[in-house]
Structure 1
Amino acid sequence: MRVVMFGYQTWGHRTLQALLDSEHDVVTVVTHPKSEHAYEKIWSDSVADLAEEHGVPVVIRNRPDDEELFRLLKEADPDIIVANNWRTWIPPRVYTLPRYGTLNVHDSLLPKYAGFSPLIWALINGETEVGVTAHMMDEVLDAGDIVLQRAVAVGPEDTATDLFHKTVDLIAPVTVGALDLIASGRAEFTPQDRSQATFFHKRAEEDVRIDWTWPAEVLERLVRAQSAPYPSAFTFHRGERLEVVSATVSEGRYGGTPGRIFYREGEGVVIVAGADARTGRNHGLAITRVRTADGRELPATEYFTSMGGYLTARP
């Protein structure tokens, strides 16, 4: 099939590489300009560079809604558009242009975790598996019929970085497998159960701030979800920003006020956590490594030289 590919960052790069390695013919690539946004500088392999290396025409756009682009797409005469990590709305006249429509590749197990940052949100929420879904694009974002889906397990110590590497390896088999199904003549695919759909927004600094009223189990997953190269989860100590690089759920149960710097346990320092911490039934978050405002990373047992005081959400 003749394929036009829309994509950006490493997800788009992996998709384009899979298409180039397949029997399908990539006739045009549409990608975004380079960005200085913190999250868009992570996993930033260039789709444009890869396309140019293989002699594929490249179009750079923030939004795919202008007449020149529409004319170029019509001239490319695609059988299908394949999109992965395209960051803005694709209008109906574009996604319905090809003979077989548009296949979108999304890094979640749709219908759950439509939208943005699905791996981070899934890890925070304690999901036991994550994955990649190829679905037909329609008027609702990430809501079209599922062509192919693959899942991988979330390990008890997995970080968002680990899950990225697990799922990015699924892009090639899911994308090419879905195209092969479409090329074989299949036209009916699996409708999404919209009663199970969830939709998440882009992550920003406010979403990385630690709220000590959350249960320790959720905070531990938040720390793993904000693994390098993502910005680390952070709190404030004595008015200074303090990043939590690693942490575990405490073995003991600790009562009191959320955020209290309470007790040394093993290699960590336990912080009281949970909205009902006053009951004494909660585990705490045992912080093991921190990074200070001046960039020093050190064990929590070295940073917290005495117990007492509080970690807070704001200075």
Structure 2
Amino acid sequence: MRIAFLGTPAFAVAALDALDRAGHALVAVVAQPDRPAGRGQALREPATKVWARAHGVPVLQPEKVRDGTLAAALRALEPDALVVAAYGRILGKDLLTLAPHGAINVHGSLLPRWRGAAPIQWSVAEGERETGVTIMQMDEGLDTGDILLQRALELREDDTSETLAPRLAALGGEALVEALRLLEAGALVPVRQDPAQATLARILEKEDGRIDWAGPARRVADRLRGFTPWPGAFTTLEGRTLKVLEARPGADAEAPAGEPGEAEVVPGRGLAVACGGGTALLVTRVQLEGRPAQSALDLANGLRKKRFRLGT
């Protein structure tokens, strides 16, 4: 097939690799414009642009996608399908309908669960034990199109959104190639989504990372994993922000007496922090505002305290 590809971050590169290996003709890669990044705020190229340049594929980076200009440019390339993977923009009807096979999306969840911008993060943060990828025929709704193909993936106990994303991306690339093959053969039967089963994976905000110690330890740990690397998990200690970098629930430590957020040193292990329901979280690595990352035990030693309260 002749494919016009729309995608921006590293997640989308696996789909590009899969399309290239399968022999599809990539007529263009459409990515968001270069954006400032890092402490120096230097312009950074999207991962898909870097890939396209290395493979000799033309790149388009429009600021706007709903004024007809992008649709006209892609229509002139006569693609058989548009493939979209984490592009980060909402497409209008002119783009969704310009190719014979329409626009096909690689989405990082088992739709209709986790529609929206951050499906990988929320699936981990909400303690899912299984997720996957969906190849979807796009419509004008938010991830509401018909399902063409799905592939499931089991989450590991220690998965973060950062470790899960590459595995889902690779699985998405494989599923995409299979779906396109079946689509060409007329062997795919689109399946409508059940809106009653839908959940929203909204865009993450900084405040999502603030730890609620009143929740059970498992939930706190799941949110830490889901929000790694951003916005992370954080609390306060004596008025200063404390990032919790590594922690685990379970029987490693008994919950300290007192209200949720009470922390107590467990010699040789870390800090046991009281959570809701009488559970405890063993915190092993932290970063206090203005300091480098360190073990939780080193933090406690530096404060010369065996017990203190977090979240104040």
Provide TM-score, normalisation by structure 2.
Answer: 0.90
Residue 154 of structure 1 and its aligned partner are, at CA, apart by 1.0
Q: Aligned with 1:151: secondary structure?
A: strand
Q: How does 1:206-245 map to 2 (within 5 A)?
A: 206-227=207-228, 229-245=229-245
1:20 correspondence with 2:16 = no
**Whole-Å separation in 2 of the counterparts to 1:174 and 1:92:** 25
Give the C-alpha shift of residue 262 in structure 1: 3.5
Which range is displaced more, 121-130 or 160-169? 160-169
Q: Alpha-carbon deviation of 1:106?
A: 0.6
Distance 1:123 1:28 in 2: 33
**Aligned 1:185-196 pairs, distance under 5 A:** 185-186=186-187, 188-196=189-197
Confirm or deny: 8 A CA contact 2:218 2:249 kept in the other structure: yes
Deviation at 1:177, TM superposition (A): 0.8
Q: Which residue of 2 aligns with 1:103?
A: 104
- Is contact 1:209-1:233 (8 Å) kept? yes
Q: 2:259 aligns with which of 239, 252, 257?
A: 257
Structure 1 stretch displaced more, 203-212 or 18-27: 18-27
Partner of 1:273: 275
2-side partners of 1:238 and 1:211: how far apart? 16
- 1:309 matched to which residue of 2? 308
Are the aligned partners of 2:4 and 2:29 in contact in 1 as well (CA < 8 Å)?
yes
Kindly tell me: are residues 44 and 170 of structure 1, through their superposed partners in 2, closer, same or farther at Cα, counting changes over 3 Å? farther
Specify whether residues 256 and 163 from structure 1 end up closer, same or farther in structure 2 by C-alpha distance, changes over 3 A only. Answer: same
Shift of 1:232: 2.8
User: Within 5 Å, which residues of 2 pair with 1:45-64?
Assistant: 46-64=47-65
In 2: Cα distance, 1:173 partner to 1:44 partner:
25
Q: Distance in 2 between matches of 1:109 and 1:215?
A: 26
Residue 188 of structure 1: how far off its partner (Å): 2.7
Contact map agreement 1:111 1:143 (CA 8 A) in 2: yes
The answer to whether the Cα contact below 8 Å between 1:9 and 1:44 also exists between their aligned partners in 2 is no
Find the residue that maps to 1:210 and give its secondary structure: coil
In the alignment of these two chains, the number of paired residues is 303
- Structure 1 position 282, deviation (Å): 1.4
The equivalent of 1:148 in structure 2 is 149
Deviation at 1:292, TM superposition (A): 1.9
Letter matched to residue 135 of structure 1: M
Structure 1 pair 125/188, CA: closer, same or farther in 2 (3 Å)?
same
C-alpha distance in structure 2 between counterparts of 1:36 and 1:286, whole Å: 37
Q: Between the two proteins, what is the percent identity of the paired residues? A: 32
Distance (Å, rounded) in 2 between the aligned partners of 1:94 and 1:182: 19
Q: Could you tell me how far 1:119 is from its partner in structure 2?
A: 1.6
**Residues 1:299 and 2:295 aligned together:** yes
Deviations 1:76-97 (A, max 9, x none): 1111100000111100111111
* Contact in 2 for aligned 1:250/1:265 (Cα 8 Å): no
Moved more, 185-194 or 233-242: 185-194
1:222 Cα deviation after fit = 1.6
TM normalised by structure 1 equals 0.89
User: What are the residue-to-residue correspondences of 1:3-82 with 2, within 5 Å?
Assistant: 3-36=3-36, 46-82=47-83
User: What runs of 5+ residues in structure 1 fail to find an aligned partner?
Assistant: 275-280
Structure 1 counterpart of 2:30, one-letter code: V
Cα distance between partner residues in 2 of 1:142 and 1:290: 37
Give the superposition deviation at 1:302.
2.0
1:269 shift after superposition: 1.1
| Deviation, structure 1 residue 265 | 6.4
Distance 2:62 2:78 in 1: 19
Q: Do residues 289 (structure 1) and 288 (structure 2) align?
A: no
Where do residues 164-203 of structure 1 align in structure 2 (5 Å cutoff)? 164-186=165-187, 188-203=189-204
Taking the aligned partners of 2:273 and 2:164, their CA distance within structure 1 comes to 27
Q: Matches of 2:69 and 2:45 in 1, distance apart?
A: 27
Residue 132 of structure 2 contacts residue 153 of structure 2 at CA under 8 Å; is this kept in 1?
yes
CA RMSD of aligned residues (A): 2.2
